Amino acid sequence: MTAPTFTDSAKLTTARSAEIMARARTRFPGGVNSPVRAFGGVGGEPFVVARGEGARIWDVDGNEYIDYVLSWGPLVLGHAPPVVLEALQRVMKNGTSFGIPTGLEVELADRIAQRMPHLEMMRFVSSGTEAAMSIARLARAVTGRDHLLKFDGCYHGHADSFLVKAGSGVATLGLPNSPGVPDALAELTLTCAYNDLEAVERIARQVPLAAILIEPIVGNSGYIEPLPGFMEGLRRIADETGALLVFDEVMTGFRIAFGGARERFGVTPDLTALGKVIGGGLPVAAYGGRRELMERVAPTGPVYQAGTLSGNPLAMAGGLATLGALTQDVHDGITAQTARLVQGMRDMAARHGVPFSASHSGSMWGFFFREDTVTNFDEAKTADTELFKRFFHAARARGVYLAPSAFEAGFMSAAHGDAEIDATLDRLDSALGAALNTSASRN
Ligand SMILES: *Cc1c(COP(=O)(O)O)cnc(C)c1O
């Protein structure tokens, strides 16, 4: 393990990051190409990354961090894993994209279907947004219905139909979360609180739904698990009312269990969205499900969906190498390290006497500064986010990079060994002490 250079002083050099971000702000809205990177959730100046290796990243100022964001989930083997780099080098010598079928697409699809046999057929796309948006279209076409039901706090990418928030935990007509989404479209997306099966039942019996979409474990409003029986209840309600059940496994897929949510909960969805891990850091996502549903997609069916770079060999190689290396043993190892981290953080919070809850499933994890387990987004919002912000900055200053928002999940990789976990827990303990001693005005 490399000795941290700034753990004791808990100070960072930031000059080059600041200079690049100043230029970036003249070129990109907020200086970033995806909003959460701007650190709006924690305040302060984002750092600019120079490189990553294994569990670590280094910024352009030379600061080193143990990384628990991992590109927001894809990097299940850690940064720059040799097995992926070698595969990319091998494949790109022959060209990076053709817009013509290649064998690698079939290989990656086979590998996914081995672990998720309910994806009898699939279609590769380039982002989770595309996968979820294509599923909405397919579900509407298959059922002949227009309404979707999603859960407050679940993120399914930024397509118009999904940028809709709930009205205080009860069924409401959707209100757009973003200007530019027509009310006429947002009205077709209904929302209710995560884990509120009664609300789902009421809505599904009132309104003919094309689909019920869910993050099987939520990662986009903090880490939230379904209560026992919730997934089974969704399956029953979908079956009884003719809605399709859609698992958005863009984040959970190949993380919460070796075979994803179906294996974890014993509930099989009609359609599934995948992304993140299946590209191993390259732009790959997919949607799939039962053959008779997927055959409705063009060109076998009338539901149009296409992509110039979809399934390109370079991206497929990244996914293949990643899933190939992610054996059951490797998955179990990452899960064990995640359990160690989560338990260590619980112990840390107990030592400091801070209200805290933390949990994990496989290699996806999260925590709230709140005593009781969080079961929906409204509860998540009652956690101490001011303490989180101070904790985030103190952790960063000590060389641990946590997601820059109280409402994002954390991840673990195969490159996080005992040394990294021990160092992380040491640094986080010190960070929590500092966060508790700092006045909120610091931020
Ligand atoms: C990340 C994410 C998406 C969007 O994927 P992009 O590749 O960022 O478009 C969709 N759904 C879930 C559950 C996600 O976590």
* Pocket test residue of 34, 155, 255 for ligand 1, highest count of atoms within 8 A of CB: 155
Question: Does ligand 1 come within 6 angstroms of the Cβ of 225?
Answer: no
| 13-21 long-range Cβ contacts below 8 angstroms, 24+ apart | 13/61, 13/62, 13/63, 14/45, 14/47, 14/61, 15/61, 16/48, 16/60, 16/61, 17/45, 17/46, 17/47, 17/48, 17/59, 17/60, 17/61, 18/45, 20/48, 20/60, 21/45, 21/46, 21/48
Going from N- to C-terminal start, the domains of the chain cover 9-73+328-442, 82-325
CATH fold label, 82-325: Aspartate Aminotransferase; domain 2 (3.40.640)
Q: Does domain 9-73+328-442 have CATH number 3.90.1150.10?
A: yes
Return the pLDDT at 235.
98
Q: Measure CA 296 to chain center.
A: 28
Residue 360, classed as helix, strand or coil, is: strand
The sign of the dihedral angle between the CA atoms of 263, 265, 267, 270 is negative
Return the pLDDT at 165.
61
The vertex-252 CA angle with 251 and 255, nearest 5°, equals 110
Options 155, 194, 223, 287, the catalytic residue: 155
Alpha-carbon distances, residue 347 vs 36, 71, 342, 366, 382 (angstroms): 29, 27, 9, 15, 22
User: Ligand 1 centre from 253 Cα, in Å?
Assistant: 11
Question: Does ligand 1 come within 6 angstroms of the Cβ of 404?
Answer: no
User: Ligand 1 centre from 155 Cα, in Å?
Assistant: 7
Question: Does ligand 1 come within 6 angstroms of the Cβ of 74?
Answer: no
The question of whether 155 is a catalytic residue gets the answer yes
User: Ligand 1 centre from 275 Cα, in Å?
Assistant: 7
User: Ligand 1 centre from 132 Cα, in Å?
Assistant: 8
The series of mean pLDDT values per 10 residues for the chain, 443 residues long, is: 48 92 97 93 95 98 98 98 98 97 98 98 98 98 98 93 58 64 92 97 97 96 96 98 98 97 98 98 98 98 98 98 98 98 98 98 98 95 96 98 95 98 98 87 44
Beta bridge partners of 348: none
Task: Tell me how crowded residue 230 is: count the other CB atoms within 10 A of its CB.
Answer: 20
Return the pLDDT at 177.
73
The minimum-distance atom of ligand 1 relative to the CA of 154 is 13
